[in-house]
Amino acid sequence: MRKFSSYGPVDKELNYYAPREDLIQFAYQQLLGENPDKGGHYITVWGPRQTGKTWLMQQILADLRADNRFAVVKINLQHLKEEQDSISIINTIAEEIAYTLHISIPKITVLKEFQQIFRADVLAKPLILMLDEFDALNEKAIGNIVNVLRNIYIHRQDQSNKITEQKDYLLHGVALIGVRAVLGVENVAGSPFNVQRGLHIPNLTADEVTGMFRWYEQDSGQQFEPDVIERVYYEFRGQPGLTCWFGELLTETYNEHHLTITMLDFDIAYAMATNALPNNNILNIISKAKQEPYKDFVLEMFRTEEKRKFGYDDPIVNFLYMNGVIDQEVVNKKELYLKFPCPFVQKRLFNTFARDLFRDVGRLYDPFEDLSDTITDTSLNIKALLKRYQTYLQQNRSWLLRDAPRRKTDLRIYEAVYHFNLYVYLQQFLNSYHGQVYPEFPTGNGQIDLIIRYEGQMYGLEVKSFSNQRDYKEALLQATAYGQQLGLAEITLAFFVERVDEANRSKYEVIYHDAATGITVIPVFVEIEI
């Protein structure tokens, strides 16, 4: 029986997979060419890590090799990422071509000799070349190889009166495969090919994810509760590596082999995926997010006040996007904003930063303090709990935030730091009462909601920063919508603010009741300055 796998390219005979036939056909046609006699295209195949680039090109490789008109060579370059000598790298590529095609190619000593191995007197028939992990090479090697390919491409274009096998150079088509558009922003010489021929590999669609899990149902006889598959897509947004990893957890590691895999099974697997299980994909994402200068940018992504524009030509955005830390949010097909790629990644990053920054939060309250205004054996008062947190923050601010990361522009502490601290505070406070708190991110941007479970009850806490009256009113409506989504009659809206006088506190800390939904929103201001 097939299995879900996230350990390298999947095996079509052993693993569940999404066929992705349209993508395969598009790339196949580009390399072959609309009219193969005139030549194929030189393309880039790119996308964030773990989106299935290598697997997709393997399928195309098999199809191309079935066409006897062409020689096809696919070379993986990952092992050359530490090699600095361009000529050594080029010789490795030449040797792989020679070995695969059973031809003799002399050792290359200077760059211009690389171009000669693609001449008609060396190759027996037109060649389609795939260079996987091409962007693992150093920038100089990338530039040198690209320049040679550019020269060959232009020379072949100059001989448009000849069919492909009659041209001086027989490099019919090229695919450069990598996590970034290697011929774009990081190559100052510009792109040698028509970048519109580039192929971006997206995440799986909802239908593709559903198709894999339905396939498992047919094979195994087990069924999924409808909400399970929907939740898998919601949490991982079709990222192939994470989706298939979680498919493995659901169907193997935490499979009780009941007739139905339920939401309880999902919750158990998800809790372990979030808190206990290592996964190279998510660990790489976290590692990239914690690197400088990217860490500061990621912390800014947790701001609740405003969205940030997406710009692929920004090298920091480019790096984080291609490494799966951030993604695009398309608004009206014209505006692009930044967001986190999926709720699971956002939660893992949030938990990581919260833990790293606040491993020790000190004493939350005096051991003999009466907490009955805040928590009893059966209920929890969120507003009172936030007031306690404000007191705690102000009393401990000097040491608690001493080493907190600050924006380089104005040296203010990042807004996200307070969100991390509140989250850890609530975790510690509720721990001895066997309560639970976990973050939710409904938009993929900075907006955070904390879900609290205590004594069989669920409490909703939306957290924002107070900026102005208009945003305050919008926040009330957002909190109402979120309370409705959670099925709650009441939700608390916490505003972080540097300082607030009693007059404004009285004016804005007024309970809001939405007549249309019947939901009550309780605004609470948390003052973060002494």
Note whether 265 and 160 are same-domain residues: no
Report, as an integer, the average pLDDT of 130-142.
90
Structure confidence at residue 143 as a pLDDT band (50, 70, 90): confident
8 A C-beta contact, residue 354 and residue 319: no
What confidence category does residue 192 fall into, taking pLDDT thresholds of 50, 70 and 90?
very low
pLDDT band at 48; cut points 50, 70, 90: confident
Q: Phi then psi for 459, rounded to 5 degrees?
A: -120, 140
Confidence at residue 28, expressed as pLDDT on a 0 to 100 scale: 94
Answer yes or no: do 219 and 295 share one domain: no
Task: Identify whether 10 is part of a domain.
Answer: no
Neighbours of 272 (CB within 10 A): 13
Question: Looking at the structure, do residues 237 and 336 belong to the same domain, yes or no?
Answer: no
Q: Where are the beta strands (DSSP E) in 317-419?
A: 327-331, 335-339
Q: At what angle do helices 294-301 and 315-322 cross, to 10 degrees?
A: 80
Average pLDDT over residues 291-319: 85
Model confidence pLDDT, tens digit, residues 250-286: 999 999 999 999 999 999 999 999 988 889 999 999 9
Neighbours of 136 (CB within 10 A): 20
Task: Quote the DSSP letter at residue 203.
Answer: P
Confidence of residue 92 (pLDDT cuts 50, 70, 90): very high
Within 8 A by CB and 6+ apart from 314, the residues are none
Whether residues 400 and 328 share a domain: the answer is yes
> According to the model, what pLDDT value does residue 185 have?
37
pLDDT band with cut points at 50, 70 and 90 for residue 322: confident
Is 163 found in the same domain as 43?
Answer: yes
pLDDT at position 190 over 70:
no
Q: What is the mean pLDDT of residues 116-135?
A: 95
Whether 121 is in a domain gets the answer yes
Backbone angles phi, psi at 106, to 5 degrees: -65, 155
Residue 298 and residue 239 in one domain: no
Alpha carbons 439 and 461: distance in angstroms, whole number? 10
Per DSSP, what are the bridge partners of residue 329? 337
In a domain, 16, yes or no: no
- Cα–Cα distances in angstroms (integers) from residue 410 to residues 112, 305, 480, in the given order: 52, 17, 34
Instruction: Specify whether the backbone of 307 is left (phi greater than 0), alpha (psi in -120 to 50) or beta.
Output: beta
Domain's final residue, options 200, 234, 266: 200
Residue 71 inside a domain? The answer is yes
Beta bridge partners of 129: 73, 174
Q: Is 527 exposed, middle or buried (0-12, 13-18, 19+ CB in 10 A)?
A: middle
Q: Which has more pLDDT, 467 or 242?
A: 242
One domain for residues 160 and 264: no
For 280, residues 6+ apart whose C-beta sits below 8 A from its C-beta are: none
Residue 95 has pLDDT above 50, yes or no: yes
> pLDDT at residue 187 above 50?
no
pLDDT at 444 over 70: no
Please state the domain count of the chain. Answer: 3
Is 517 part of a structural domain of the chain?
yes
Mean pLDDT, range 367-389, rounded to an integer: 95
Q: How confident is the model at residue 411 (pLDDT cuts 50, 70, 90)?
A: confident
- Both 243 and 331 in one domain: the answer is no
Q: How far apart are CA 143 and CA 165, in angstroms?
A: 27
Query: Which of 236, 257, 277 is a domain's end point?
Result: 277
- Tell me the whole-structure pTM to 2 decimals: 0.88
Q: Are residues 302 and 369 in the same domain?
A: yes
**Residue 13: its pLDDT value, please?**
94
Residue 171 lies in a domain: yes
**Residue 452 predicted with pLDDT over 50:** yes
Question: Does 12 reside within a domain?
Answer: no
- Token reading at 291: 């690197």
**What angle do helix axes 315-322 and 280-290 make, rounded to 10 degrees?**
160
Q: Label residue 196 by pLDDT band (50, 70, 90).
A: very low
Q: At 172, which CATH number?
A: 3.40.50.300
273 and 135 in a common domain: no
pLDDT at res. 172:
96
Confidence of residue 330 (pLDDT cuts 50, 70, 90): confident
Helix%, strand%, coil% for the chain, nearest 5: 45, 15, 40
Q: Are 452 and 486 in contact (CB under 8 A)?
A: no
3-state SS assignment for residue 222? coil
Is residue 284 included in any domain, yes or no? no
| Domain shared by 168 and 250, yes or no | no
Cα–Cα dist 125/70, whole Å: 6
Terminal C-alpha separation, the chain: 63
For residue range 18-35, list pLDDT tens digits in order.
999 999 999 999 999 999
Residues 338 and 417 both lie in one domain:
yes
Task: Assess whether the previous peptide bond of 341 is cis (omega < 30° from 0).
Answer: no
* 3-state secondary structure (DSSP) of residue 177: strand
Domain boundary among 256, 277, 298: 277
Mean pLDDT in residue range 371-391: 96
The confidence band for 99, taking pLDDT boundaries of 50, 70 and 90, is: very high
Lowest-pLDDT choice from 73-82, 113-122, 337-346, 436-445: 436-445
Domain that holds residue 447: 289-527
Q: Is the pLDDT of residue 195 over 60?
A: no
pLDDT value of residue 180: 61
For residues 406 and 398, the answer to whether their CB atoms sit within 8 Å is: no
